Structure formats: C-alpha cells, structure tokens
A and B are shown apart, each in its own frame.
Chain A
Amino acid sequence: MTTANKKIVYMDNNATSQVAPEVIEEMLPYLTEAYGNPSSMHNFGGQTGTAVRTAREKIASLLGAEPEEITFTSCGTESDSTAILSALRTYPEKRHVITTRVEHPAVKSLCENLESVTGHKYKVTRLKVDSEGMLDIAEYEAALSDDTAIVSVMWANNETGVIFPVEEMARMAKQRGILFHTDAVQAVGKLDINLKNLDIDFLSLSGHKLHAPKGVGVLYIKRGTLFVPFLTGGHQETGRRGGTENVASIVALGRACELAGEKMAEENGRVRQLRDKLEEGLLSKVPKSMLNGHKTSRLPNTANISFEYVEGEAILLHMNQHNICASSGSACTSGSLEPSHVLRAMGVPFTAAHGSIRFSLSVYNTEEEIDFVIEKMPAIIESLRKMSPFWEG
C-alpha cells in the first residue's frame, strides 16, 4: 500500500483495516448502476434486495448462524447500544448489568451513562482482570443475580488481543436466565466462531475491522431472543432496524466475511507466525520491554508491547517518520491525561503504561515489513531513552 509514493507499513488493523480489492470490486456496482432501493416493488430495486440477502447468508455462514439472525447496523457501536438497551427495555424490572473493566468505549461509555444519566437507576458490575488481562470466572459467577438484565463482555480485547471465555460465560448466564451480549468486533474473522451451539444472545461486529468499508456493522440476535429496536423507522431488517439499507457496504461486508472464512487458516498460521516473530524480535532487541496481555489466550494478530521510560506518542511519531503505523495506550495520544484504562486495569505500572505500543497485523503484512520494524524500533527507543531523565543507560 502506498500514499504519496511512500510505502506504508500498516500495523494498526485493530483500529481499521484496508478494504480488500475483492471487496471493492463486489461493492462497486451498487454505488454505480445498481442504485435501487431494496424495498421497491420494481425489479430494478429488487435486484439490490437479492444482493442484501446473499450478503446476509455469507455473514451468517461465517458466524455459524442463520440468515434471519443477522441484522445490519451502521457500526459496532450501534450494535452494542442496540443489544444492551434492548435487554434493559425487555426486562424493565431488572436493574443490573455485568461488564468488564476493559471494554471498548462503545460499551464502557454506555454503561457509565446507564449509571449517571439515569440517576443511578442501574447498577453496573465491572469485572476485574489480572495482570495478564484475564477474568476471574468465580467473580463473574458471584456477580450474576436475579436482578441482572444482561451481561456484556467483549470476545477479544482491542488493545491487548486477550480472548475472554465468552462461550462458557454465556452458558453460565443462560442457566440463570440472563441475556448475554458480546462485542466481537476484534474477534470475527480471526477466531473460528460457531454461534449455533452457543448460548450467546447478541453479538456485535464491525465491517471495517475485517477489510470491509467503514459505516457498516451487524448485530446477531439469536432466534427466539426478545428484542426491542433501537432505531425505529421503516420496516427494513424485519422491523429490527429502521433506515434504508446501506446496500453497497452490506454487499462488501458479505464478501469480506466470505474472504475471512477462506483466510482464517492463514490468519491463524502465517499472520500468527509474523506476529510472534515481531514480538520476539522486539522483546529480545529492546531492553526493558515487556508484553502486555496473556501470551497464548490472544488474537493471532495483536502484540501490545511496553517500552519502559519512554512515552508512547513520541514513539509513534518517530515510527511515523519511517511510515510505520501503529497505536499507543499512552494518555498523550488521546488528549486525556490518564493512560489506557485497559492497561491500568491490568495493573501495568505507569513506567510501562505510558510507553505501550500496539501492533496489529493483517493478512496483508509481509515478513519483509516485520524485519523492517524490528530493524527500526531499537534505535527509536534508544534515542528517546537517551533523552529521558529516568533512563540510566
């Protein structure tokens, strides 16, 4: 990939991903000649309805779900809000929500609002994580109560890639008659998911994390789950989500899911090997560096590494000079003054939390790029450490 003739080394796929060329090809006709409205009576519109149906089938197939369990939304955040608010409206007498301390802002902020905006009508339990980012299932079990309306736990963490045992957690919720939602935005396409045999009631996914464009998401709603829509309007999505279908992006997401299914083995094979090589290379070449997150219960594409005594934004801007794209959990990248809530919840010390860099790969990364990053990083860290008053180098 290039911009302005400079080769970009893109390792920020948990933020967003390149739209696959096959996906663009498939969606283009729906931005040009096939512009009909799927709800129209004429054949011209009807053909886009068929395209939406085909896409729905492809997505269902990747998730091991039925097509009618797939509802299209505008993004992962909308899917998350829809699921959680639906559960609260379905069971208005229940006033308790269980989530974790490391959720994406899409769920985190909603839960904060549930407490503050409603005048603390709702009680939210945020499950702790240990130093490797893992949950304590005993704490979860103890938190489940008759007052719990819904559990919302992410399948995989966006910052560290740590995978939570959502299958088991959903089963435990089900036994208590409690709805279970998972934000699987980072997991879909990277992990083998088969919802048919699971007790997950709601699952959110987002197109742009798996090589489809931004602006399209899905909420999986298990058959038989009581549901109250969030966005009301026309009869689209069988009344579950109003608004004319984003046909081109839906078609794109269908193709992207199909590709993700085909490339699942590569993601868990070649991409994992590249990630491991990057991780081992950096940890061995840069002193005082450490991995954040569980070593094995982790997405195959993500490595979150802290470089002690240096600050993340400064690292990223030096990497930017070499056209290497990644992210940081440093406070200074976000304008807030506190570093990543995920790393703080894990108890990562301040010395390391401010200097964390997240590398997130995709099937488009090459070994050459990994070697390039391993070559460039030590000098960047060393130059910043020389400047740091805390570094006794």
Chain B
Amino acid sequence: MWEYTDKVQQHFLNPHNVGEVDKPSGSGDVGSLACGDALKLTLKINSDDIITDAKFKTFGCASAIASSSVLTEMVIGMSVEQAAKVTNEDIADALGGLPKEKMHCSVMGREALEAAIADYRGLILPMAEGEVVCECFGVTDLDVIRAINESTLRSVEEITNFTKAGGGCGKCEDKLREILQTTVSSKSEVPVLQVKPKRMTSLQKIKKIEEVLEREIRPGLRKDGGDIELIDVDGDFVIVSLRGACKSCNKSQTTIKEYVEKKLRELVLDSLIVEEEN
C-alpha cells in the first residue's frame, strides 16, 4: 500500500477541473496507454497572457490523477510566463509530497504544462529534438539530463523514479549511467570547487575511502557473510564490487546506496557516488 498524503487522496477522490476546456488556447498531450499513464491538459489563456481556465483528462494511478488535478489548480490565474516556471517539484510539493516511485507522475504534469504552453506559443518543444534513450517509455536523453539537473538525481534508480526511463526492459541502464556520469561531472567542474574548497588529491581520496571501507563498512558486511572490494575511483565515482553473500543478495543495490555511499559521503566527501561494478 502506498503512503499517500491526505492532499493526494483528496485530489484523487475529488479531482478538480476534469475535462477539456472549450476551444483551448493551448493543449498538451503526454504519455500513452502502453506506458500506463497519460495526460491531456487544455488551457484557456486571455489576451493578457493570463491562464483563465485549465482542465485535464488523465489515465493513470492515484498520484497521476492527483498531480493533474493540483496542477490545474496551481496554474489558473498565473501568467503564461509564471506557469512556464512551474517544476515537477512544485507539483509534488503542492500535494504534500509523493512516494519516490511516483515522482514520474509529477514530471508528467510538468511535461503536459510545457507542451500546452509551447502549443499556445506555436513552438516546438526542445525535447522533441533529443535522442530516445529508453524505448519502452520513449524517454530522450534531454529528458533525462533535465531531470538529473532539476531534481539532483544521483543514481539510475532515481532516474527511473522520476522519468520512468529504464523501468521497462532495463536495456538502457548502461546508457543512463553514462548520461548520469557525464551530466554530473560536467556540472560539478566549476560549482564543486566553490562548495568544496578543500580538495583532496586522488591518492588521498583513495586512501581515505579504503580506510573507511576497512574500518566502518567491512565489519558489518562480514558479519552477514559478505565483503566489499574497491575496484576504481574515477573523479567522484567510486566503483566497488560486493563479495560473498552480498553478491547474491537482492538488497545489494540498497546496501551500496543506503549503507556504503552514505558512509563514504559522511566520512570522505559528500559528492561521492558509489556504483557497483558490472
């Protein structure tokens, strides 16, 4: 059972602004039946560029319906310029939060809003130009990069929660990891220096990581019959390999993210990203 906030439940059980506005000024269609959710958003915009009405039609789960409903409420009364700045985080916040596996529902809301505004302005969305990475859900590299930057995503799992990419056949996982690495490292070149004035040399970093693995992490894993080995450190990416019982454990991803990465971020460098060797 999902833990939905009261706000999500209210908007799901009694959604506002269901339907289509008459002669819409802008209309946005995103998602598909195959994907399991889809949203058609229609906007009425007056001569002062103010959104006077918004209606939705949604096929999807409770969070998809609630996200659509709260989105229409948010944008009515906004100028087109203001509405163009609404992010998926704004939508999720307005609902008092969404379970992380459901964040893609808020992304769908933002995408529909963008599509409707572009339609009103007679523009073609930049997303249409991207290259499709996830074929199951038709997600492009630009969609993924945008989600990584806007919601500070740091793992493939998070990318799936937000964009659905990688949630079908899983064939694009390597590609997603690649995009994540490039996006994060290109972003971190300048700003990380500002945030982290104290830079470690690679050698210092590796030594420190080994130390923390040995002292803080291995004893716990060994108690469960497992172990961990450091394979490589490439910038902020720490590549490890789980051994023994950890290797066959279906919680290995959680072990790496919730335990190993948390500890290394806490004790070595908070920008570290731990990945398991393939």
A contact set with B: CB distance below 8 Å: 109, 113, 117, 309-314, 317-318, 321, 330-332, 335-339, 350-351, 354, 386-390
Q: Contact between A336 and B13 (Cβ–Cβ < 8 Å)?
A: no
Q: Known: A109-B250, A336-B167, A337-B168. Is A387-B57 also a contact (CB below 8 A)?
A: yes
B244 → chain A closest CB, angstroms = 12
Q: Contact between B101 and A314 (Cβ–Cβ < 8 Å)?
A: no
A154 → chain B closest CB, angstroms = 21
Q: Contact between B62 and A317 (Cβ–Cβ < 8 Å)?
A: yes
Cβ of B18 < 8 Å from any Cβ of A? yes
Q: Contact between B36 and A387 (Cβ–Cβ < 8 Å)?
A: no
A133 → chain B closest CB, angstroms = 21
A339 → chain B closest CB, angstroms = 7
Residue interface bits B237-275, CB-to-A below 8 A is 1, else 0? 000000000011010000000000000000000000000
Q: Contact between B59 and A337 (Cβ–Cβ < 8 Å)?
A: no
Residue interface bits B22-54, CB-to-A below 8 A is 1, else 0? 000000010001111111100000000000000
Residue interface bits B199-212, CB-to-A below 8 A is 1, else 0? 00000000000000
State the CA gap A310–B18 with chains docked (Å).
Answer: 15
Who on chain A is nearest to B37 by CB? Answer: A311
Question: Is chain B's interface secondary structure helix, strand, loop, or mixed overall?
Answer: mixed
Who on chain A is nearest to B2 by CB? Answer: A313
Cβ of B115 < 8 Å from any Cβ of A? no
State the CA gap A108–B64 with chains docked (Å).
Answer: 30
A-B contact pairs, 26 of them (CB 8 A): A113-B248, A117-B247, A309-B59, A311-B36, A313-B2, A313-B61, A313-B62, A314-B60, A314-B62, A318-B13, A321-B13, A330-B61, A332-B60, A332-B102, A335-B101, A337-B36, A337-B160, A339-B36, A354-B36, A387-B65, A388-B58, A388-B59, A389-B29, A389-B38, A389-B59, A390-B59
Q: Contact between A350 and B33 (Cβ–Cβ < 8 Å)?
A: yes
Q: Contact between B59 and A311 (Cβ–Cβ < 8 Å)?
A: yes
Q: Besides A113-B248, A311-B61, A390-B38, 6 other CB < 8 A contacts? A: A311-B60, A331-B36, A337-B35, A337-B136, A387-B58, A388-B57
Q: For B57, give its contact among A317, A335, A389 (CB under 8 Å).
A: A389
State the CA gap A336–B35 with chains docked (Å).
Answer: 12
A28 → chain B closest CB, angstroms = 29
B contact set with A: CB distance below 8 Å: 2, 12-13, 15, 18, 29, 33-40, 57-62, 64-65, 101-102, 136-137, 160, 164, 167-168, 247-248, 250
Residues of A within 8 A of B18 (CB): 386-387
Residues of A within 8 A of B61 (CB): 311-314, 330, 332
- A-B pairs with beta carbons under 8 A, tally: 75
State the CA gap A332–B39 with chains docked (Å).
Answer: 16
Residues of B within 8 A of A390 (CB): 33, 38, 59
Residues of B within 8 A of A335 (CB): 101
Who on chain A is nearest to B9 by CB? Answer: A317
Who on chain A is nearest to B39 by CB? Answer: A389
Residues of B within 8 A of A336 (CB): 167
Q: Which of B29, B39, B168 has the most CB of A within 10 A?
A: B168
Residues of A within 8 A of B62 (CB): 313-314, 317
Q: Contact between A330 and B36 (Cβ–Cβ < 8 Å)?
A: yes
B252 → chain A closest CB, angstroms = 11
Who on chain B is nearest to A338 by CB? Answer: B168
Q: Known: A117-B248, A314-B12. Is A338-B167 also a contact (CB below 8 A)?
A: yes
A309 → chain B closest CB, angstroms = 7
A97 → chain B closest CB, angstroms = 17
Residues of A within 8 A of B167 (CB): 336-338
Residues of A within 8 A of B59 (CB): 309-311, 387-390
State the CA gap A354–B33 with chains docked (Å).
Answer: 8
State the CA gap A302–B65 with chains docked (Å).
Answer: 29
Residues of B within 8 A of A350 (CB): 33-34, 36
Q: Contact between A389 and B36 (Cβ–Cβ < 8 Å)?
A: no
Q: Contact between A332 and B58 (Cβ–Cβ < 8 Å)?
A: no
Q: Which of B40, B61, B160, B247 has the most CB of A within 10 A?
A: B61
Residues of A within 8 A of B102 (CB): 332
Residues of A within 8 A of B136 (CB): 337-338
State the CA gap A318–B62 with chains docked (Å).
Answer: 9
Who on chain A is nearest to B60 by CB? Answer: A311
Closest CB pairs A-B (n = 8):
A337-B167, A332-B61, A313-B61, A389-B57, A389-B40, A335-B101, A388-B59, A350-B34
Q: Which of B39, B57, B247 has the most CB of A within 10 A?
A: B57
Residues of A within 8 A of B29 (CB): 389
Who on chain A is nearest to B170 by CB? Answer: A338
Q: Contact between A314 and B36 (Cβ–Cβ < 8 Å)?
A: no
Q: Which of A314, A317, A318, A389 has the most CB of B within 10 A?
A: A389
State the CA gap A351–B59 with chains docked (Å).
Answer: 10
Q: Known: A330-B36, A354-B33. Is A389-B58 also a contact (CB below 8 A)?
A: yes
Residues of B within 8 A of A310 (CB): 59
State the CA gap A342–B58 with chains docked (Å).
Answer: 26
Who on chain A is nearest to B137 by CB? Answer: A337
B213 → chain A closest CB, angstroms = 23
Who on chain A is nearest to B59 by CB? Answer: A388
Residues of A within 8 A of B247 (CB): 117
Q: Contact between A314 and B248 (Cβ–Cβ < 8 Å)?
A: no
Residues of B within 8 A of A339 (CB): 36
State the CA gap A387–B15 with chains docked (Å).
Answer: 9
State the CA gap A332–B37 with chains docked (Å).
Answer: 9
Residues of B within 8 A of A113 (CB): 248
Who on chain B is nearest to A321 by CB? Answer: B13
